[in-house]
């Protein structure tokens, strides 16, 4: 006889539906696992861009603000004192040897020259008289009609007259030179950079009147901090003008001040510019770039190749034969805007991943599609 069911009558119709739902879920789960495994097996190698590691000397650059100045700039002044009558040049005028720059009032100098000429005539007359008396005294002494003392006096007087004539001749030469010094002239090719006297001004001998810069070699002058003295001495220097930043001029250290400026605590350095032409004007602003090797080698790599998740900088190194990648810690010397300088951790010629390093997995195979030249 059939046993009566213990389930409520209301539950009986839903039992087949529950069994069907459970079977459907189980089937979907099995299908999902099968698809995931198949997808893992069929997953292709990840394409990567790589760049080769190449070590070279680290050549750091330092820049300084420079000013273009002449190598030789002379302060020219009158060799005699007097009142300035005319100034014949302006700032910026080019001059050649013998070009008059300024003139003094030569009235007093001319009078001194005339006085020296008169003294010269008097000295010649006195010498002629002294020589005549010496000749007569010599004849009288030979005949025995003059004493030895009288002969010696006439001889001394003639010698004194000769000395006075020589002194008068030198005085004439000096006054003529002084008269010529009343006109200040240039002694070399150059350009006037400053005029420090005006007509009517009384100047002393040697006082600076005109400043002339020679048109020969030009220099770039910079102030160097004491921490960079060694690099400035040993490095290679180039100069670029602010007005023409695309052109570079070779520069060579000519002079380095042995003492620091008491105000700025910097050392004045002068770099000669042998290739500078007329386009480089005095007073221009420029940038002096000094490149100096430190003897340390480093590989310059793109900043996007660096991988760091808190354990230090590292690089993904690619093995082309096996298609595998390995993460190697590296030593970084310096970070630039788009580059990183690596000094250790990788070898010369290693190929590293340059892009997409955050998406790599050590267990994943990669395929090099293009080498990134950097």
Tokens standing for residue 371:
């080498």
* DSSP, res 99: -
CB 253 within 8 A of CB 237: yes
Residue 61: beta bridge partners?
291
Residues 6+ apart with CB under 8 A from 103: 84, 85, 86, 88, 182, 183, 184
Tokens standing for residue 94:
């080019």
The helix (run of H) or strand (run of E) holding residue 217 is none
Q: Report, as an integer, the average pLDDT of 73-96.
A: 94
What is the pLDDT, as a whole number, of residue 68? 95
* DSSP, res 97: T
CB 159 within 8 A of CB 151: no
Tell me the backbone φ, ψ of residue 205, rounded to 5 degrees.
Answer: -65, 130
Spacing of C-alpha 61 from chain mean position: 12
Tokens standing for residue 358:
């955050």
Q: Report, as an integer, the average pLDDT of 39-64.
A: 76
Q: Report, as an integer, the average pLDDT of 256-263.
A: 93
CA dist., res. 169 & res. 365, Å (int): 106
CB 49 within 8 A of CB 353: yes
Confidence of residue 294 (pLDDT cuts 50, 70, 90): low
316-368 pLDDT tens trace: 999 888 888 999 999 998 888 888 889 899 999 899 998 888 888 888 888 88
Cα-based distances in Å from 374 to 16, 37, 49, 315:
69, 39, 12, 16
Tokens standing for residue 279:
């386009």
What is the pLDDT, as a whole number, of residue 337? 80
CA dist., res. 170 & res. 196, Å (int): 33
Collapsing DSSP states into helix, strand and coil, what is residue 196? coil
108-166 pLDDT tens trace: 999 999 999 999 999 999 999 998 888 888 888 888 787 888 888 888 998 999 999 99
Q: Which is more confident, 84 or 48?
A: 84
| DSSP assignment of 40-101 | HHHPPPEEEEEEE--EEE---EEEEEEEEEES-EEEEE-SS-EEEEEE---TT-EE-TT-EE
The helix (run of H) or strand (run of E) holding residue 91 is none
Residue 251: beta bridge partners?
237
């Amino acid at each position: 006889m059939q046993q009566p069911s213990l389930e409520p009558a209301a539950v009986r119709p839903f039992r087949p539906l529950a069994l069907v739902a459970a079977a459907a879920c189980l089937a979907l789960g099995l299908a999902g696992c099968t698809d995931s495994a198949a997808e893992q097996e069929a997953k292709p190698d990840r394409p990567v861009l790589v760049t080769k590691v190449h070590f070279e000397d680290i050549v750091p650059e330092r820049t300084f603000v420079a000013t273009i100045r002449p190598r030789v700039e002379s302060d020219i002044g009158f060799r005699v004192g007097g009142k300035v009558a005319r100034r014949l040049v302006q700032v910026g005028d080019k001059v050649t040897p013998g070009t008059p720059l300024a003139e003094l009032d030569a009235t007093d100098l001319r009078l001194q020259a005339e006085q020296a000429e008169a003294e010269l005539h008097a000295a010649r007359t006195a010498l002629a008289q002294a020589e005549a008396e010496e000749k007569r005294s010599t004849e009288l002494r030979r005949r025995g009609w003059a004493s030895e003392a009288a002969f010696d006096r006439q001889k001394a007087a003639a010698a004194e007259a000769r000395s006075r004539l020589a002194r008068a001749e030198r005085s004439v030469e000096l006054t003529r030179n002084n008269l010529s010094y009343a006109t200040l002239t240039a002694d070399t090719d150059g350009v006037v950079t400053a005029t420090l006297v005006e007509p009517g001004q009384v100047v002393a001998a040697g006082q600076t009147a005109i400043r002339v810069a020679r048109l020969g070699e030009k220099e770039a002058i910079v102030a160097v901090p004491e921490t960079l003295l060694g690099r400035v001495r040993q490095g290679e220097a180039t100069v670029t003008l602010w007005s023409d930043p695309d052109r570079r001029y070779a520069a060579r250290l000519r002079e380095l001040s042995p003492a620091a400026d008491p105000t700025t605590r910097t050392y004045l350095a002068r770099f000669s510019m042998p290739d500078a032409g007329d386009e480089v004007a005095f007073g221009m602003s420029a940038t002096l770039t000094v490149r100096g090797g430190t003897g340390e080698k480093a590989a310059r790599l793109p900043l996007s190749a660096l991988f760091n998740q808190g354990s230090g900088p590292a690089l993904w190194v690619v093995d082309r034969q096996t298609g595998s990648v390995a993460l190697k810690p590296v030593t970084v010397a310096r970070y630039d805007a788009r580059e990183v300088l690596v000094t250790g951790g990788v070898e010369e010629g290693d190929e590293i991943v340059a892009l997409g390093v955050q998406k790599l997995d050590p267990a994943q195979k990669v395929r090099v599609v293009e080498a990134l030249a950097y």
